[in-house]
Each structure stands twice: as structure tokens, then as C-alpha cells.
Amino acid sequence: MDVMPKWADVILIPVISIILAAILSALVILAIGENPWAALKLMVSGALGSTYGWGYTIYYATNFIFTGLAVAIAAQAKMFNIGGEGQALLGGLGVAIVCLYIPWPHWTVALIGAAAAAALFGAAWAAIPAFLQAKRGSHIVITTIMFNFIAAALLNFLLIGALKAPGMEPATSKFPEPAHLPSFQDMFNFGDTTFFRGAPANVTFFVALAACLFVWALVWRTRLGYEIRSFGESESAAKYAGISPTKIIMVTMLISGALAGMMAINNVQGEAERLVLNAAEGAGFIGIAVALMGRNHPFGVLLAALLFGFLYQGGAELALWTSIPRELIIVIQALVILFTGALDNMVRMPLERLFLAMRRA
Amino acid sequence: MDFATLLQMLDATLRLATPLLLACLAGLYSERAGIFDIGLEGKMLAAAFMSAAIASVTGDVWLGLLAGIGASMLLSGIHGLASITFRGNQLISGVAINFLAAGLTVVIAQSWFKQGGRTPQLAGDARFNPIDLPFAEQLRDVPVFGTIYYELISGHTILVYVALLLVPTTWWVLYRTRFGLRLRAVGENPAAVDTAGVSVIGLRFAAVAICGVLCGIAGAYLATALQAGFTKDMSAGRGYIALAALIFAKWRPWYALYSCLLFGFLQAMALRSDVVENVIGFALNNQLLDVLPFILVVILTGFVGKAAGPKAGGQAYVKER
């Protein structure tokens, strides 16, 4: 018997956790001598006050949807994939290679090709930690962390070496024109009124929405998804039911890595249109906060990704107009992870007691 | 490579291995008690900032060290609260602590010192300065032994010797004291410890507290001994390298020393790539050297051998399951 109704578990606890995180963030802002209310207003107007702001918010959110889904699907099998950052970096490498070396006729085909390459590279980077977890008992968290570092070093190595474009900058050359994805500015241009002018949001956002739908259908509407969830609930029960742990660990991590890798079609192909150093910019780690907040459900991930997109764009505005540094966003991210993840029981236990008392009354 | 250059390399190895060793031993106490700690990095970073900040304000490095330990202990307290008291996920708690430290250190540094997220440069008594061991000067001219003693063994900051002494101390505590036996037991089979009437929660908090102290020293060493002041993200993955060293050492103190020295040597090689190129005849890639610890651990404890941690690691203890 559940102690709490489902809505309390799905909505009430995350909301209370976020309020706690928000209060602490406000205290931090107060402590460094700024006004939290004014900061919030600035963030809202900067991130949501114009189609330009929305264009950035949606762009960031697109990144976080992919990395959030990556963490979420691994979490369905009770695995913690911290390697989203490295997988996204490798996805960028895949995108860069197919965009630079294959002459695409049209962006639609280029998008499909780049998405496939990004997914393949991301999945490949998740495959070794998954194998070591399934077969050799190495802890997947530790190996995926290490693979983040190895990925960053590999990309540094390639971007100052084999893939470097002529010039000073450690980056590839610009992708050819047909491989460029249409931005929201191109799509929502109605003659004299242009929305999202100058913002990096692009068609990848719709791919991200499709990915949400795909993960939902996979996890809750297919046999594989059922096996993944059973494995996550109880490894021994799943084994007894004839589900192979090796297969579930490998397949889940490959899908997870592929999702994280696909982030690269947004930031590498969609925005930068070339591969630069540290292209993922920590989005892989924000996926952890996004998945925790979204309760590992694709719809929750979508909402949480939009919230973090807002925080990211709002935080950039704060850094621009006040003395609050950008790193405040990292603090907020940490608090969200702390309260919705590690300190979940701190919120849950008193609530459960409350609901029990109400039931008895 | 001549003898003097070799000594220089080994000297650098010792200096660079020290923060790794302190963090590695910190993780050893925590993980031997069954509490995973991927927050070593964050605790070091917080301690590095706090020690540099207080040392620069007061001009006294010892006060800085205390403040650094305090900051690290505070984060340890959060980790203990989340993973012991509220039985939360220890890995997620560690991730949160790393980000909390990465963000807060810069935000606070900017607010206090307004130098773009760094502390002022430290000098004089605000830093740990090298100390000469007894007779170093007199023995200097004795061939080989005297040179080694003068160049390599003497002339480090006190924290280097503290870190080295902590290795036998940790061995003794873990394997020769009642506390150590209980600490190891609580990481393998907490129910048995509980049945014997010893507090699992108390022991685990003690382990997490020791971890906090050692990470605090490691961080203070980074900012006040190895370098002269705090800079953004100055721990630079050392917490994770320490974690890799811990796995490499299979959670044993003496092996922790050896693996930290090895990884310290790799860092020294990255610093002196000119020497490396002279010796082996071609240039090693610095990116490769930076991540070689991780690659070694993946290959040697993943594919070749196996490294299994304490059995109850990562699981919160619930009485009367």
C-alpha cells in the first residue's frame, strides 16, 4: 500500500524541493549583497520577456532534454549515467565528421545523417562503461566519470591536431552551407515580423520533443521497456523472470549514450555550425538535475529542461547586468540535485507522516 | 637525463602526489565505512578557497588551514546528513557537493575579493613554506645519499610530511585498533556491527568526518603550499584522480601511497615534457598524460584485473529490514 497518493509523490515533493532550493539560492544572492526579487525579475524578463529570450531558453532546454532523457532512461534500470557530458562531446565529434566529410544535398538529409552519427558516437562512448559494469563489476558511475575526462582529452587532442581548421582557434572549420539547420528565426519569419531574431533555437527542438515521445513509448509501451523497469525495480526478480542483466545494462546504456550524443545536433550542428573546444559546456551534468527533478519521466524531463533553460538564459542576463557571476547557476543546479536527489527523504518522510496522520483522522 | 634532473622530477612527483594522497586517504576512510564519496573534488575545492581566503585576510596560514578544514567538514556534514541520516543516494549527494563547491567558491570569491573569482596572491606567513629537515645543509655534499636527502627529502612544506605520515597511521588505525576493525566491518556488514551493539550511524559519521578533515588539508595544500592563492576550479580533477588511485589501490593505505606517487609522477611528466622528450626520444602528448591515470584504472582494474570495493558500499543502513 502506498503511504502517499501518487500526485503527492510526482508533484508535491519536487515542488517542495524546488522551493527549498530557491529559498537557499535567494539567501546566497542576499549574502552577496544583491536583491533576489530584482534578480528574479531580471531573469524572467531576460529569458521569457522576448522571443529572443525564448529562443535562448528553448535552445538550452533542447540540450537539457537530450541529456536529461539520457540520465532518466539509465535511472529506469537503476543505473546512474554521469557520463552524459563525455557522450555529448563524442556525439559532437560524430556530427563534425559527417558534416565536414560528407557532401549533404539538403539539411533534412544532413539532420538524419548527423543525428545517426551523434547517436552512434555517444552510444559507443557509453558502451565500454556498460560492458565493464555488466561483465567485470566495475562501478558504472566511476567509469563514466573517467570517460568524461578521457573524452575531453580526446577532443582537445583532435581539435588542436587532426580536425583543426587553419588559424589560431582550436576548432574545426565551418560546416558547409547545406548542412546548416534552420533556426527558429528562419522558420518563424512572416514577412515584416521576424520572431526569435538572433537566437540559436533551431529545428532540433522538435527532434528533442520526438525523443521524449520515443523514450516514453519505449519505457512504458514495449517489452524492452518493461524489462528495463523490472531490472531497475529488482535485479534478482528480473533474473528469475528470465531477463538477462547483461542485455539490459548494455541496451539501456547504449540508448542513454545515444540520447546524450544526440544533443550535439543542437549545439554543434544547429548553433555553432562547427566543433569547438568543450562544446557540451556542462549540459551533460545538468541532465542529472533535470532527470531528478523530472522524476525520470519524459514529460517531467521536458518541464525540468525548460526550467533549466530559463535558469541558464536568465543567469546569463544576470551576469551581464548585475555583479552576480554566472556560477550562481551552478549553485542553483547543485541545490536542485541535493534537494530533489540526495535529500529526497528529508522532504518525503515528514510528508508521509502527515499523510498517514490525515488517513487515520 | 642526469641525476639532478631525475631528482627534480621526483621532487615534483612528491609535491604533486601529496594532494592526491590526502584526498585518496580521505576517500579510503569514507569508503571503507561504506559511504561512497565522489565529492572529494568539491571538498578539496571548498577547502582550497576558504584556506586561501582566510590566510590572505589574516596573514596566518594556520588559521587558513583551520578554515579550509572547516569548509570541507561542512560539506562532509551535508554528505553525512544526506547519505546516512536521510538514507539518500550517496553518489547523487557527492555530485551535488561537487557542483555546490564549484559554484559557491567563485560566487563568494567574487563577492569578497572582486578579482574575477580568485583570492589575492599569498606570500610570507600566509603560505606554507618549505622546511629544512635537520642536517640537510651539512649532509648536502655527501655523494648520492646527501644529495637525495637535501634535494628530494628535505625542503618540502610540512603538509607533505603530514600526508606521508598519514599512510602508516591509517594502516595502523585500520588494522590495529578497535575503531579500525569496526570501521572496516561497517563497510562490509553493518548489520553485524549493529548486532554487536555498536552504532553504525556513529561510525559512519566518524568516517565521513575524518574524510572531511583530510580533504580539508588536501585543499589547503593546493592553495597555500603548492600554489599561492585560490583560482577558479583549481582542484582540476584531482579529487577524481584520487578516487581512481583508491580503486587502483583496492582500498588499502600502502597501495594508495604507491598509486598516488605513480599518478603524481605522471603529472610531473606533463609539467616537464621537455625532460620526457629527451629521455624517450619523442614528445608525449600532454592530454594523454592528463588522463593516463583514468585509462590505466579502466584497463587494469576493468579489463585485466578486478577491483571490488567494500561490500556494503553505497547502501544506506536500515535497522530491522
Tens of pLDDT along chain A (361 residues) come to 467 888 888 888 888 988 999 999 999 999 988 899 999 999 999 999 999 999 999 999 999 999 999 999 999 999 999 999 999 999 999 999 999 999 999 999 999 999 999 999 999 999 999 999 998 888 889 899 999 999 999 999 999 888 888 888 889 999 998 899 999 888 888 877 778 888 899 999 999 999 999 999 999 999 999 999 999 999 999 999 999 999 999 999 999 999 999 999 999 999 999 999 989 989 999 999 999 999 999 999 999 999 999 999 999 999 998 888 989 999 999 999 999 988 988 988 888 888 888 888 7
Q: Is A44 on the interface with B (CB under 8 A)?
A: no
Contact of B22 with B268, CB cutoff 8 Å:
no
Write the residue in A137, A324, A334 that is nearest to B308 by C-beta.
A137
* Shortest CA gap A211–chain B (Å): 25
Q: Is A80 on the interface with B (CB under 8 A)?
A: yes
3-state SS assignment for residue A59: helix
Q: What is the pLDDT along chain B (321 residues), one digit of tens a residue?
A: 688 888 889 999 999 999 999 999 999 999 999 999 999 999 999 999 999 999 999 999 999 999 999 999 999 999 999 999 999 999 999 999 999 999 999 999 999 999 888 999 998 888 998 888 888 778 887 888 888 888 888 889 999 999 999 999 999 999 999 999 999 999 999 999 999 999 999 999 999 999 999 999 999 999 999 999 999 999 989 999 999 999 989 999 999 999 999 999 999 988 888 888 888 877 777 888 888 889 988 888 888 777 788 888 888 888 865
**Searching chain B, which residue's CA lies closest to the CA of residue A289?**
B96
Separation between Cα atoms, residue A12 and residue A9, nearest integer Å: 6
The grid cell for A28 is: 546566497
DSSP B35-63: -----HHHHHHHHHHHHHHHHHHHS-HHH
Per DSSP, chain A holds a count of helices (H) and strands (E) of 16, 2
Q: Which residues pair with A276 in a beta bridge?
A: A171
Residues from chain B that touch A156, judged by Cβ atoms under 8 A, are 287
The grid cell for A11 is: 508533484
Q: Is A349 on the interface with B (CB under 8 A)?
A: yes
Separation between Cα atoms, residue B174 and residue B171, nearest integer Å: 5
Residues from chain A that touch B309, judged by Cβ atoms under 8 A, are 139
Name which of B283, B235, B289 is nearest B264 in CA terms: B289
Separation between Cα atoms, residue B207 and residue A317, nearest integer Å: 42
Q: Is B107 on the interface with A (CB under 8 A)?
A: yes
Q: Does B103 sit within 8 Å of A327, measured CB to CB? A: yes
> How far is residue B139 CA from its own chain's centroid?
32
* Shortest CA gap B221–chain A (Å): 23
Write the residue in A33, A141, A156 that is nearest to B287 by C-beta.
A156
3-state SS assignment for residue B75: helix
Separation between Cα atoms, residue B60 and residue A34, nearest integer Å: 31
Region of residue A126 (phi > 0: left; psi between -120 and 50: alpha; otherwise: beta): alpha
Separation between Cα atoms, residue A356 and residue A72, nearest integer Å: 30
3-state SS assignment for residue A241: coil
Rounded to 5 degrees, φ, ψ at A32 are -95, 15
Separation between Cα atoms, residue A335 and residue A26, nearest integer Å: 12
H or E element: which one contains A290?
helix A283-293
Name which of A265, A254, A198 is nearest A63 in CA terms: A265
Domain extent listing, chain B = 3-126+140-236
The CB density around residue A269, as the number of other CB atoms within 10 Å, is 31
Per residue in B216-268, pLDDT (tens digit) is 999 999 999 999 999 999 998 999 999 999 998 999 999 999 999 999 999 99
Q: Is B89 on the interface with A (CB under 8 A)?
A: yes
3-state SS assignment for residue A102: coil
In this prediction, residue B34 carries a pLDDT of 94
In this prediction, residue B301 carries a pLDDT of 82
Separation between Cα atoms, residue B14 and residue B153, nearest integer Å: 9
This model of the complex carries an ipTM of 0.92
* Shortest CA gap A228–chain B (Å): 20
Residues 183-242 of B with CB under 8 A from A: 237, 240
In this prediction, residue A11 carries a pLDDT of 86
| Cα torsion angle, A280, A334, A210, A233, sign | positive
Place of cell 528469475: A240
Q: Is B304 on the interface with A (CB under 8 A)?
A: no
DSSP A8-55: IIIIIHHHHHHHHHHHHHHHHHHHTT--HHHHHHHHHHHHHSSHHHHH
Q: CA-based angle B210:B215:B217, to the nearest 5?
A: 100
Q: Does A327 sit within 8 Å of B117, measured CB to CB? A: yes
Contact of B193 with B186, CB cutoff 8 Å:
yes
Q: Which residues pair with A194 in a beta bridge?
A: A189
> How far is residue A219 CA from its own chain's centroid?
18
Q: Which stretches within B114-252 are classed as H helix?
A: 136-139, 145-147, 158-176, 178-188, 190-195, 200-221, 238-248
* Shortest CA gap A338–chain B (Å): 5
Q: CA-based angle A76:A140:A95, to the nearest 5?
A: 80
For chain A, domains (ranges, CATH) are: 61-307 (1.10.3470)
Contacts of A311 (CB under 8 A, 6+ apart): A43, A47, A329, A332, A333
